[in-house]
Structure 1
Amino acid sequence: MSTQDGPRKAEAIFAATLELLAEHGYDKLAIEAVAARSGVNKTTLYRWWPSKDALLAAALRDSGLLTVEIPDTGSLRGDLLAVATRIHRLLTSERTAPVVTATLTASPRRPELVDVARSFFADRMAREEPIFDRATARGELRAGVDPVLVMDLLAGAIWFRLLLRGGEAGPDFLEEVVDTVLSGAA
């Protein structure tokens, strides 16, 4: 976000929003607390974001906290393993896991956050697309494979294992998921 698209202290505001979300959960996240922590007047926050949902949506979308670098390891398997490792890190890092968990638990009750999640994942998929283009050009992936399906299978397995099953998802698990997605289960 540039200063033309938001307040000058947007990064500080987003950082405060996500820190408070992680510390206190969605229900206790308050505009007043974000204002105090970021050093911005609450009227400034309301000028840019009319609600807590709008502010949180902007913080999730525009903050660098949840950014994942897209790898180019030279192979589809290597790229997917690197992406899987980064997804795992987002879901287990002391800094990002509470943000992800709080957002997931709030999203079903907040239509604006559902829209932001769609936008967030569409943007993420657009950035991951070169992984699949390169793999197809190298002959590692047949033409017509749906990259969204591949990423849903990969990320979904990691999310499900960590967040819903409460299980371990170490390096061996990540390799097994990548290999199963690439070769199929049969």
Structure 2
Amino acid sequence: MIDGTGKGAPGTGQRERQRGDGPRRQREIFDAALSLLAENGYERLTIEAVAERATVNKTTIYRWWPSKAALLGAALMGTPTLRFDVPDTGSLRGDLEALVEAILALLTKPPAADIAVAALAAAAHSPELAATARTFFADRLARENPVFERAAARGELPPDTDPTLLVDLLAGAVWVRVVLRQTPVGEDFARRTVSFVLDGVRPG
């Protein structure tokens, strides 16, 4: 195609060079990969489809990531869609309730919910993605550690508390209720869940 200057209109590769293969390109590729994962699932996801949606050449993607598992792993680690702020309410109970609320929002509000559920299903079939999932959750726990460090300093937790187990109990309750059972949660779900974990279910 000839443009008004008499020169050929720039193709996709030229447009990429003009715009730069920097952070914006990566964000666009990550967004395309995650949206296609949520729409079609891991098995039907292709590098070609990601390239088309992100308007880049597939060679650009392969230059950075050798496989779709590598691309998705980078996208999951790099996207802000799956992030939430670590709370600091002044109490362990308040912080844990806020964490449960954040996980609930992550698993019930699109696009984060669709991406998270599709990524979990994909990790079950891809050892490479499973490794990324372990890294993702380890990074998440590291970000949440200040909650437990502050609680221990306030005397709200014994020194031998296992933060990983505590988070697993709370996050697991949300995953089972929302993703597996697919049943509604009440407005007091976070409070009741944290109460069960911290206080137990015995009378009194």
**Could you list the runs of 5+ residues in structure 1 that have no partner in the other structure?**
1-6
- Indicate which of 107, 113, 116 corresponds to 1:97: 113
Alignment of 1:87-166 (within 5 A): 87-166=103-182
Question: Secondary structure of the equivalent of 1:40?
Answer: coil
Q: 1:113 to 1:170 in 2, by over 3 A?
A: farther
Q: Which runs of 4+ in 1 moved over 3 A?
A: none
Between the aligned partners of 1:102 and 1:164, the Cα distance in structure 2 is: 13
Aligned position for 2:83:
67
1:150 partner amino acid: L
- Indicate which of 37, 48, 61 corresponds to 1:45: 61
Q: Say yes or no: does 1:182 pair with 2:204.
A: no
Report deviation, 1:30.
1.3
Aligned position for 1:83:
99
Aligned position for 2:16:
none
Question: Which structure has the larger Rg over C-alpha atoms?
Answer: 2
Aligned position for 1:24:
40
**Could you list the runs of 5+ residues in structure 2 that have no partner in the other structure?**
1-20
Report deviation, 1:33.
1.3
Q: Say yes or no: does 1:36 pair with 2:52.
A: yes
Report deviation, 1:169.
2.2
1:45 partner amino acid: I
Aligned position for 1:4:
none
- Indicate which of 148, 154, 173 corresponds to 2:189: 173
Between the aligned partners of 2:185 and 2:64, the Cα distance in structure 1 is: 39
Question: Secondary structure of the equivalent of 2:124?
Answer: helix
Cα-Cα RMSD: 1.1
Count of aligned pairs: 180
Report deviation, 1:184.
2.3
1:11 partner amino acid: R
2:143 partner amino acid: R
2:117 partner amino acid: T
Report deviation, 1:162.
0.9
Between the aligned partners of 2:56 and 2:95, the Cα distance in structure 1 is: 41
Identity among equivalent pairs (%): 54
Aligned position for 2:30:
14
Q: TM-score under structure 2 normalisation?
A: 0.85
> In the TM superposition, what whole-angstrom CA distance separates every residue of 1:112-143 from its partner, at most 9, and x where no partner exists?
11101100000000000000000111111121
